[in-house]
Structure 1
Amino acid sequence: MRKDTLKHQGKRLQLAKVVEDKGIRDEKVLDAIKKIPRHLFMDSSFEDHAYQDKAFPIAADQTISQPYTVAFQTEVLQVKKGDMVLEIGTGSGYQTAVLCELGAKVYSIERQLELFKRTKLFLSKIGYRPRYLAFGDGYKGLPDYAPFDRIIVTAGAPFVPNPLLSQLKIGGRMVIPVGKDTQIMTLLERKSETEFEKTEFGNFRFVPLLEDRN
């Protein structure tokens, strides 16, 4: 296991400052960025870049999201301690770790088997314990554990999957990047059984959300 040094910790403080300067105000989110050793979530050949505000490749043609994007989605989600949060796209586990730092009960789904196995092992190694990590189709969510207080989708979806809407508690919030080539960050707040309020933020770029085609 690679080390987390004082140098890394210093770089994290700088990264949190960069993210804050871009408009992130939630202290708990900034604290999570200061605390989580992002370099450990990446291939060692990218370690020098770990604390830049950029996305980088990880296994299975996926990426570890830009820290600002992670912070932005998390801030919009407004996670409270003890919230049940469904994460679609575990990926490297960095966003999962941020949610764990905020005290959420995290349920996460990953579509790529190689990534799922690697991340599951890795998260427990560095002390993050999501409630449940699933290998499966993010479009379907996790109906057995629903309803969720919060749902976060960390890959670009061409549309908002209905199963995810139905798994959101009334009063709950879902953050999802919607669109084909570039995505519009979208917040959906569930007001009643049938009513959702939609707020759109700026454009972001994500790897596509993969559907189980079998």
Structure 2
Amino acid sequence: MKRPRGIGSSRFADASAPADTRLLAIAADHLKRFGPRQVTVVSIADAAGMTHANVYRYFPSKAALIDAVAGQWLRTLEALIADIADAPDPADDKLERLIQASARTHRDLLKEDRHLFDVYCAATETSRPLVRKHRARMRQLTERVLDEGIATGKFDPRDRERALAFITDASYRFINPLTVRLDAEVPQEVLDQRLAAVIRVILRALSVGNV
């Protein structure tokens, strides 16, 4: 299964790439190394070989640039989940993989790029547009798998909307960045066991019509 890769690095940015792409790669690298407070538009502009005024042609503020870095990571997650939703597997297998992939990807970001993860958490806490858009996209993908399961007889919920809410509510601890951060010190094997138990409950409830 493909996993989201790092967004980029100023040390490896392609000089022939569009300016906004290069700026995002540089900003992602600076954010990972220095944290959001130490990132400056001037340093990003210097690394890109342009004036800081030119950066503002593409991003109206430092906050907008950092949000764009987080948004790019969210789109890599959405692409991963879309690949699962579009796969030829049975719907129950796809739903299990979908939840596991989202949980694992969140956990990986927490371990590999804490500064970007904290930006994501702050955007979630304030319900910024990039997070609202991401939630809507993830809901669409989950709906697609749920509807496929209903059509093929894998799932038999009493109420479609309640079933969709149940999937989200039951898996919330493992896919919301704020709760993922709270579990930062919990061993991975413990989280894997808990998530596996939750997924079994979700699939069982959907298949026998408990929701």
Larger Rg: 2
More helix as a share of residues: 2
| Structure number with higher relative contact order (C-alpha < 8 Å, ≥ 6 residues apart) | 2
More strand as a share of residues: 1
TM-score by length of 1: 0.27
TM-score by length of 2: 0.27
